[in-house]
């Protein structure tokens, strides 16, 4: 069965038949359509945040480990890598398993999503345990690399969460908690770097940011545990500290 994200877009003429202004308008409209799907998943997102919080609070050495291939993998790495400088989330409590490894962050290594041997090797290197949380991200919901990692991590009693863009997918059935953002057809068929990727990014932002809020890394809407790693952040830290002094 072909996943919806692979099917041709039929709501308009093909994008390459449209004048540029019309194409831009269509792309914006479809991005909004995708984002509006998140409203319908508020209860699921809330549950994921609560379960993650309780799990990581109980297991103080537990890690958030993002897993994916291609665009989905890069989105996961981007979200997780910002947790330390923004919130002060310990570096040792974040990691990722990405098809093609770090090389895939800057290059497209398309055949890597079928490499289950590499998935197994990365799992072994990280020594996944019941303390950890695996977030498997897959637009199709059937990516072999990501599904394998989620399946094997679950065997090791890790908490497994999946984010996908197709209903009744393989990864949905493999994970403990699943979030389905049914974005359907892309304007350029199969290009899930578009609507599906945008919705994945926003959803991960929501989950990780509110998780950090629950852990107390945000006070009065400010980054209370910010790591000032450059001039801009040092200045931001000064502004934050000045604000806290003014209200105490």
Do 138 and 234 belong together in one domain? no
Helix, strand, coil percentages, rounded to 5, for the chain = 55, 10, 30
d(CA 106, CA 191): 17
Which H or E run includes 174? helix 170-174
Do 202 and 227 belong together in one domain? no
Catalytic residue among 41, 113, 185, 186: 113
pLDDT tens digits, one per residue of 59-103: 999 999 999 999 999 999 999 999 999 999 999 999 999 999 988
Do 140 and 104 belong together in one domain? yes
Full residue range of the structural domain in which residue 226 is found? 219-248
d(CA 60, CA 147): 26
Do 227 and 198 belong together in one domain? no
Global confidence as pTM: 0.94
- Residues recorded for the chain: 248
Do 246 and 145 belong together in one domain? no
Do 188 and 121 belong together in one domain? yes
pLDDT over 70 at 1, yes or no: no
Give the residue-averaged pLDDT of 169-180. 97
Catalytic residue among 6, 36, 50, 82: 82
Q: Residue 234 forms beta bridges with which residues?
A: none
- In this prediction, what percent of the chain has a pLDDT beyond 70? 100
Do 56 and 16 belong together in one domain? yes
pLDDT at residue 85, as a whole number: 94
Total domains present in the chain = 2
Q: Is 113 a catalytic residue?
A: yes
Q: Is 30 a catalytic residue?
A: no
Which of the 8 DSSP states describes residue 110? G
d(CA 25, CA 184): 18
């Amino acid at each position: 069965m072909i996943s919806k994200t692979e099917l041709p877009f039929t709501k308009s003429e093909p994008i390459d038949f449209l004048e540029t202004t019309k194409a831009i308008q269509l792309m914006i409209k479809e991005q909004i359509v995708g984002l509006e799907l998140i409203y319908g998943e508020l209860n699921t997102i809330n549950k994921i945040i609560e379960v993650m919080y309780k799990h990581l609070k109980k297991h103080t050495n537990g890690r958030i480990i993002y897993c994916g291939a291609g665009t989905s993998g890069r989105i996961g790495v981007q979200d997780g890598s910002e947790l330390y400088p923004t919130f002060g989330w310990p570096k040792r409590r974040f990691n990722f398993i990405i098809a093609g490894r770090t090389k895939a962050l800057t290059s497209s290594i398309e055949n890597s999503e079928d490499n289950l041997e590499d998935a197994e090797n990365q799992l072994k290197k990280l020594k996944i345990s019941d303390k950890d949380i695996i977030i498997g991200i897959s637009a199709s919901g059937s990516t072999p690399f990501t599904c394998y990692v989620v399946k094997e991590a679950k065997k090791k009693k890790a908490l497994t969460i999946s984010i996908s863009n197709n209903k009744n997918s393989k990864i949905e059935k493999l994970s403990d908690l699943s979030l389905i953002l049914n974005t359907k057809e892309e304007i350029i068929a199969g290009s899930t770097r578009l609507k599906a990727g945008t919705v994945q990014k926003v959803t991960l932002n929501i989950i990780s940011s509110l998780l950090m809020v629950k852990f107390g890394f945000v006070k009065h809407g400010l980054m209370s545990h910010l790591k000032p790693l450059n001039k801009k952040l040092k200045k931001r830290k000064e502004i934050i500290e000045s604000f806290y002094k003014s209200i105490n």
